[in-house]
Structure 1
Amino acid sequence: MDQRKILTDFITYYCDLSDKDLEAVLRHFTFREVAANTIILRRGQLCDTLSVAIKGLFRLYAVDDTGNETTTWLVFEDTLVMEPASFLTRQPSRYYLQALENSVMASITYNELQVLYRTIPGFEAFGRKLMEEVLVGTMCRATSLLLDSPQERYNRLLGRATFMQRVPLKYLASFIGVTPSSLSRMRRRMQS
């Protein structure tokens, strides 16, 4: 796996940079291996890095006052790994971010990103387009939770079945807003 190529492709998907500018941007990212089940961000901490999932699987989740976890986002390869509200507002996170598999991330700090936005023409498009994508994804998720049935949410995930097979059942159930036993029943009904 060529980590640098994956990161390069991710960046150039969102913005068009000269070779020199692209090299300057790449120098600011660091690659980090993360063991399965590692908590990368805890509630109350500041999300200070924008990261790209080079390899692996991550989940963003919240914990209520009774200790119940709700998985709010699942992240696979070639996707943004962060808690956007904390990152953008510079406020402590209300979420946890966890690697579910042995993973690799490419990360850049908030401050380094701001410097690159100011000094490299065209790179600001990277952040703008990324955040537009995050906003649309968040709105679609919120709308789905309000208007779609759990079965409809599950059916939509089946389009990404190869990815979803990697997600433990309890996290997948939480993500679509049902109990693990309800998800098992849905799956059995679909198989019969």
Structure 2
Amino acid sequence: MANFSPMDNRKLLADFITRYCNLSDPDLEKVLQQFSFGEIAADTVILRRGQTCDTLSIILKGAFRLFAVDEAGNETTTWLVFENTLITEPASFLTRQPSRYYLQALEHSEITTIHYDQLHALYQKIPGFESFGRKLMEEILVGTMCRATSLLLDTPQERYNRLLQQPRFLQRVPLKHLASFIGITPSSLSRLRRRMQT
């Protein structure tokens, strides 16, 4: 995977922020200075159950999943995200309570991150920046509701068809995680894929 230069990363972050709020150049620079940039190796778990999620990150390159593990050790993937998308554990981040989930990089990834305290300090210093956080959380809420509705009302076939409309899911996410994400077993997903190929 090719790495971006520091200037590329700053540009990607600036573009992401200005999708959600309008800031003057000096205020945007203050915001950019509070983000740190880093790389995460594939399969790295960056948040574990029982930890409080203290950071909000934006994926510059790569893919992540949010998943839960039950008492029997079974994993359920609840969120799959790729480039130019927020990655956090929203319930823990917002409530400051220990998470019930894990966050894991599916690929070698490049991210830019801000700490909870830094983010809220910016909200106080730069009122126009508050719309950044509000609009991000609105997106997460809508996405969560749409996913919950799909799991309740759509058939596995319909959920899989929706994945087919976004090829990166099939190209970059292991089938066992895709199966969990759409609420079926890996063997059921394999049968579904075979039926569609015949």
> Normalising by structure 1, what TM-score?
0.98
Specify the alignment match of 2:20 in structure 1: 14
CA RMSD of aligned residues (A): 0.8
**Matched residue SS, 1:6:** helix
Q: How does 1:16-165 map to 2 (within 5 A)?
A: 16-165=22-171
Q: CA deviation at 1:106?
A: 0.5
Letter in 2 for 1:162: R
Letter in 1 for 2:193: R
1:171 aligns with 2:177: yes
Kindly indicate whether the alpha-carbon contact (under 8 Å) linking 1:30 and 1:108 is maintained by their aligned counterparts in 2. yes
Q: CA deviation at 1:162?
A: 2.9
Structure 1: runs of 5 or more not aligned: none
The CA distance in 2 between the partners of 1:182 and 1:62, in whole Å, is 20
1:184 aligns with 2:180: no
The CA distance in 2 between the partners of 1:186 and 1:6, in whole Å, is 38
The CA distance in 2 between the partners of 1:107 and 1:7, in whole Å, is 10
- Number of equivalences: 192
> Normalising by structure 2, what TM-score?
0.95
Percent identity, aligned pairs only?
74
Structure 2: runs of 5 or more not aligned: none
Runs of 4+ in 1 over 3 A off after TM superposition: none
